[in-house]
Amino acid sequence: MNLEDWANGVLGGTPLDADRLNYRDDLLDKAIVQLARNPEALFGGAVQYDANGAPTSAVVEWPDGSTGTYAGTPSVSSPGAISAYTITRIVNGATITYTQPAITRDSATGNVTNRPPITIS
């Protein structure tokens, strides 16, 4: 059962009522998205790199023990960096995909100048 499915009942009137449980679910979702913003922290198995050292695919392990995969698109203007990626999380047989749309980099330094928000599907 997902926390978002809780309804008041046996737990009603206790510190664990539906509003508090559902709020915790919202916080967990936000934390998961923050983890998806730093995919290398989740690499938990084989990692493949391109010729410039950019990670292009990997097995990932989320802190809750769920697994998934990472697929990165290397940057053309900044060799060794990633311009976009997807990372998945498999929970109870359902796959959630977090997509980082193409990142804009300064052509002289390679520093990120625009990082669009991650989308979830």
Instruction: Please give the single-letter amino acid code of residue 4.
Output: E
Indicate the burial class of 82 (C-beta count within 10 angstroms; 0-12, 13-18, 19 or more). Answer: buried
Q: What's the confidence (pLDDT) of residue 1? A: 45
Q: What's the confidence (pLDDT) of residue 25? A: 60
Reported as a single tens digit per residue, the pLDDT across 51-75 is 999 999 999 999 888 999 999 999 9
Indicate the burial class of 27 (C-beta count within 10 angstroms; 0-12, 13-18, 19 or more). Answer: exposed
Q: What's the confidence (pLDDT) of residue 8? A: 52
Distance between CA 33 and CA 98 in Å, rounded? 8
The residue extents of the domains of the chain are 1-36, 43-120
Q: Three-class SS string for 86-97?
A: EEEEEECCEEEE
Reported as a single tens digit per residue, the pLDDT across 4-46 is 555 555 555 555 555 555 545 666 778 888 899 999 999 998 9
